[in-house]
Structure 1
Amino acid sequence: MCNINAYAEAIKVFKEKDPAEMAGNAGAVYDKENKKIFLKYLHANIEVDFPSGEIISDAKWELVKNDKVLILQYLTGTTGAMPRNTWIAFIQLPGGPHHHQPFVLEAINPLAEEFGNKIEEFRKIAPLFGATEIKMGDYGVSIPVFAKLPMAVCLRQGDDEFPPSANILFDAGAPLHLTTAALWVLGVELSRKLRGVNGQQYS
């Protein structure tokens, strides 16, 4: 999903920005003396060096290149707008209909297959990403992916007539922080991490 050019471009844009302004807009903290930005990403503590863009994390899962690009894109792209506390589906994002089916196939369906009939297992894993329960489906959570960009995941158990289903939703203000292409990657990475694809340690 991510290529070397995307990462290089993210670093280039990051270097050209004012670190204090980026931190302020992102809901992060800038340490001027050590030239580092501190923020949360999926409940993990993230440290970003300025201007190199080098990222250190205490996450229990591997911080892959997609994550690094997303963190840099969030820092450089956020407008500072607060969450709107209204959920929208990927298809409702700008240009969302053009990429909705791949999003369903790569992010949503795998969650349904993994947790649709194992909601109790999901209930134990979700809080490790900072999730709080919300009334949605048979079980739903809100996850503060970034300080100003929450996402929601909901599950519905299957029965004799219908298979289990899931959904990943975005705060309505998400386009004020990341492009639709970046939000697509973000949703896929959230799905992967909840499913343990990147080597999470849930102990």
Structure 2
Amino acid sequence: MRHADNVKMVGKLAVVALGMFAFGYALIPLYKRICEVTGINILALTERDVPGNGTAGKNVKLNTQVDESRTITVEFDANVRGPWSFKPAVASMKVHPGELSTVMYEFRNEQNHRMAAQAIPSYAPKQAAPYFNKLECFCFNQYTLDPGERKEWPVAFVIDPKLSKDVTTITLSYTFFEVGGKTPGAPVVVPTAAAAAAEPGSS
């Protein structure tokens, strides 16, 4: 009788262990899906499936035809959550859709100890987000800076020519925050008058 009970208990434990393994295996894609829906601490699909973020050569399709008949103003905004110095090298630049462009961002750890941090991007108008393709960006990874250490990292991007012609200004905003603390939501971008005019439903 005791042997039968032991066998039954081992069977139950095996089922529990198998269930825990399956749950752990499914947790990562589940977490990614939740983050994609909420927009917290995860890259959108168009930001993950580009070269420079570990997916080069995996069905990445970018429209590289430059539309020189259009010019889009890209404004760069930087926010920090913690003792960091964080700013773009330029406040804005004018680009043609389909043109590869690069902007540098400067980081400095103002604390007296090593800190790890990551950036969360956001866009205005929101409709521009699927067309703003990053080929290289510091927001793809977490970084560790020593006390007083200063770094410069690029953001290389291409704006898809399929972007609505009503959009003439895009604001790219980042929030740089310490890893290990409370993860902030995507930064709230206050669009310029030109960007606001391109939002659906605006008058």
Question: Which one has the bigger helix percentage?
Answer: 1
Q: TM-score range by the shorter chain?
A: under 0.3
The alignment's TM-score, normalised by the length of structure 2, stands at 0.26
Of the two, which has the highest radius of gyration?
2
Structure (1 or 2) with the greater strand fraction:
2
